[in-house]
Amino acid sequence: MKYQQSSQSPYSMVYIYLDPGQQCRVERGAIVYYNMGITVQGKMNAGTEDGSSVGNFFKAVGRSLSSGESFWMTNVSSTAHGSMVAIAPPTSGQIIELQVSPNQTWLVNDGCFLACDPTVQYKMKKQKVKNSFLGTGGHWIMKTEGEGTMLINGFGDVVPIDLDGSAPVIVDNNNIVAWESTLSYESKHCSGTLGFRSGEGRVCHFTGKGRIYIMTRTYQQFANEIQRYLPSNG
């Protein structure tokens, strides 16, 4: 995927450039504008193109209901040289690139996907019951497959944390964006005395070797701040 960000600000767009015959997938509602060389088509968000249309329908429904991801994925294709589509996430924040391969797979929290090559897929992965509070997707998270580039976004800055296997890292559930599948994780209850912002009082313990991406702000934190300034019913 050939792309360029419009700026380094938290409000930037991404310009994706496609040659004739090339494609990419973007999150539903993310397209800002495109030129005449671009064709846009909505497809069911079923992970892969394999299987019957009925099977893909139920995959898409399951993904949407279980994880909060969109029922539809937007497929973008090019019919001419100089084709370009501009996309942006729904909230302000940093956009980063993940390189996906059979040797480097990622687990992505719901709502953080923005775009990917057509050779990259991501499927629902059911969590163990003890980890089911990770993110807002309940029992499900997204696991990448295939090979290529994926763009993800977070609220605020997106910061990497690298683990060398010598010690665990504990992260508030609501700040997690993505992490490598080489890491083990367990969601645990956190007492309020530790000062974590999670309304559910959940934190995630990561162990092993690999990278975590976290976001510096949370949607819940932002919503709570706005609520303070809204007029009360009384």
Per-residue CA distances from 85 to 1, 21, 72, 200 (Å) = 12, 14, 18, 38
Name all domains of the chain by residue range, CATH numbers in brackets: 2-229 (3.60.160.10)
Q: Which residues pair with 85 in a beta bridge?
A: 16, 34
Q: Who's near 53: CB < 8 A, 6+ residues apart?
A: none
pLDDT of 78 higher than 50? yes
Question: Could you tell me the end-to-end alpha-carbon distance of the chain, in angstroms, rounded to an integer?
Answer: 53
**Are 145 and 105 spatial neighbours (Cβ–Cβ below 8 Å)?**
yes
SS3 141: strand
Split at pLDDT 50, 70, 90, the class of 51 is: very low
Split at pLDDT 50, 70, 90, the class of 177 is: very high
pLDDT of 94 higher than 90? yes
- In the DSSP assignment, the letter for residue 193 is G
Q: How far apart are CA 67 and CA 137, in angstroms?
A: 4
Map tokens 């007492």 to a residue. 191
- In the DSSP assignment, the letter for residue 129 is G
Split at pLDDT 50, 70, 90, the class of 122 is: confident
Q: For 178-230, what is each residue's pLDDT tens digit? A: 999 999 999 888 765 455 554 556 899 999 999 999 999 998 888 889 988 98
Q: What percent of the chain has pLDDT over 90?
A: 61
